[in-house]
Amino acid sequence: MSQITGEAYQRRLERLAAHPAMANDNVTLPKGSWTGAARALIGLGVAGLLMTVAGAFVYNAKHAVASYSVGVLCVTAISLGALFWTMVFHQTNAGWHATIRRQLENIMMNLPLCVGLIAVMLIVELASGGLLFSWMRPEYADSPLLTAKRSWLNEPFLVVRFFIYAGVWTLLATKLYRFSVDQDRTGDRFLNNRARFTSAWGLLAFALTTGFFAFDFIMAMDFRFFSTMWGVYYFASGPFSCMAVLLIVTGMLRLRGRLTGVVGNEHVHDMAKLLFGMNVFWAYIAFGQYFLIWYGNIPEETAWVVYRKQGGWENLAAVLAIGHFLIPFLILLLRPVKRHPALAAAAGAWLLLMLVMDMFWLVRPMVYTPASGLKSPGPGAMWVDLAAIVGVGCLWAGVLARRIASGPLIPLKDPRLPEALDHRNYV
């Protein structure tokens, strides 16, 4: 790149701007579009969250917090997946991704929202003295399994760690987003180099913060349980679910007559391949973790699994094995499905449902444990879960829709755009 003079590069940008696919009404939504939908989604989200609060009074606060956590963990996984892909594509200098990157960045920029939602979760736990985070409760203070972990599981350090996770994610997301938006304006091609440099240390910081976030906010709900694979297990939910959202978003934009010749079926094919591959990765990690616990047969670990293989939860585990892995695996193996925008988006939507099931299976059994002394109100109380998950999801989607409509749908002056516009899979 560096041997291209500024003048020659300006001419190249002019040629790019004259490309028929780069016409203004193809790469931007009309002013004011999607505002109604975004407002409706945010309203629905707030209503869902209010219903969750009502559920806390009808049943108990622990149930409501657990339902809310399921929703928050899902949308955080998706947003983290977008941050992951943005950095991976910058780091590998991937040419084909240039036309889909702005949507990835839009999803990624929901991370500050996710941080806020997590902060609410943390404040509730701290104020209530540990509804789900049982290690905060005084009755377990003398448990030898907890005293050994006290240097990690204590409130001040948890708050410090939360600020580290929140800071790293927000910093990375806003930094990368700003590079991309600045490039729209200035056309400075060296912003890609800076984004690439940021991604290099960013991926390392991302891996550590995501892993330890999963330790603190999911695994620590049962302080006796431990799995060194846990960070990867939670991370594995991100990349495929983000690709699912990306397929749905680009599909909707194409239905609106946008992105013609910009995001074609070749891009859909690649996104669906990543959806397929990262879903298999999830299955690999999920089985690998379960398998070692099964073989090792250590009571602290097996208790966690055994509890999720009884009392009806074994049905959900079967749904995950079949619905999250087996059926999508066989369907997404087929090339025509991966190259069909609607079918690929439908597979993505199904996998988003399975993401919710997965998080539900992890978090929700913690509510009515025998030790909690709470009596399960039965399936009638599921409306709280539905309200919380749909509420958080709609809030997240509404904020995303507003951001998508507010700017160009692709990075307008990325030097890799010509390559991405001509992208083809030669297989």
Whether residue 381 contacts residue 67, with contact meaning beta carbons closer than 8 Å, is answered with no
Point out which span in 32-40, 240-248, 285-293, 407-415 binds other proteins (CB under 8 A): 285-293
Structural element, H or E, at residue 243 = helix 237-255
Question: How many other CB atoms are there within 10 angstroms of residue 231's CB atom?
Answer: 20
Query: Of the two residues 176 and 421, which places its CB atom closer to other proteins in the complex?
Result: 421
Helices marked H in 297-340 — which ranges? Answer: 299-307, 313-319, 327-332, 335-338
Instruction: Please report, for residues 63, 67, 387, the alpha-carbon distance to residue 56 in angstroms, rounded to integers and kept in the order given.
Output: 7, 10, 12
**Shortest distance, position 343 Cβ to other proteins, whole Å:** 18
Among 5, 24, 151, 297, binds other proteins (CB under 8 A): 297
- Using DSSP's 3-state secondary structure scheme, residue 317 falls into helix
Name residues contacting other proteins, limited to 335-374 (CB under 8 A).
Answer: 335
Is residue 287 within 8 Å of 324, Cβ to Cβ? no
Contact code string over 319-338 relative to other proteins, x by CB under 8 A: --------------x-x---
- Minimum CB separation of residue 228 from other proteins in Å reads 19
Q: Does 424 bind other proteins (CB under 8 A)?
A: yes
Please, what is the minimum distance in Å from the beta carbon of residue 308 to other proteins? 15
Residue 295 contacts other proteins per CB under 8 A: yes
- Residue 299 in contact with other proteins, rule: CB under 8 A: no
Comparison of 214 and 316: residue with beta carbon closer to other proteins: 316
Smaller CB separation from other proteins, 181 or 292: 292
Contacts of 128 (CB under 8 A, 6+ apart): 61, 65
Q: Say how far residue 274 (Cα) sits from the centre of its chain.
A: 15
The residues near 219 (Cβ < 8 Å, ≥ 6 apart) are 225, 226, 227, 230
**CA angle 119-125-126, nearest 5°?**
90
> C-beta of 46: minimal distance to other proteins in Å?
44
Region from 188-196, 222-230, 287-295, 341-349 binding other proteins, contact rule CB under 8 A:
287-295
Toward other proteins, which CB reaches closer, 322 or 333?
A: 333
Query: Which residues in 225-254 contact other proteins (CB under 8 A)?
Result: none
Nearer to other proteins, 197 or 291 (CB): 291
Specify the residue, 148 or 333, whose C-beta has the smaller distance to other proteins.
Answer: 333
Output the DSSP codes for 398-418: HHHHHHHHHS-SS-TT-TTHH
Instruction: Choose the stretch contacting other proteins; rule: CB under 8 A; options: 39-47, 214-222, 232-240, 283-291.
Output: 283-291
From the list 164-172, 203-211, 214-222, 286-294, the region that binds other proteins by CB under 8 A is: 286-294
Nearer to other proteins, 37 or 280 (CB): 280
Burial of residue 127 (CB within 10 Å: 0-12, 13-18, 19+) is exposed
Q: Which of 291, 306, 311, 322 binds other proteins (CB under 8 A)?
A: 291
Q: Which C-beta is closer to other proteins: that of 57 or that of 426?
A: 426
| Nearest distance from C-beta of residue 288 to other proteins, angstroms | 9
CB within 8 A of 192, min separation 6: which ones? 90, 93, 179, 183, 414, 415, 416
375 touching other proteins, by CB under 8 A: no
* C-alpha span between 193 and 84 (Å, rounded): 17
DSSP for residue 29 = P
Residues interacting with other proteins, by CB under 8 A? Answer: 287, 290-291, 294-295, 297, 333, 335, 424, 426
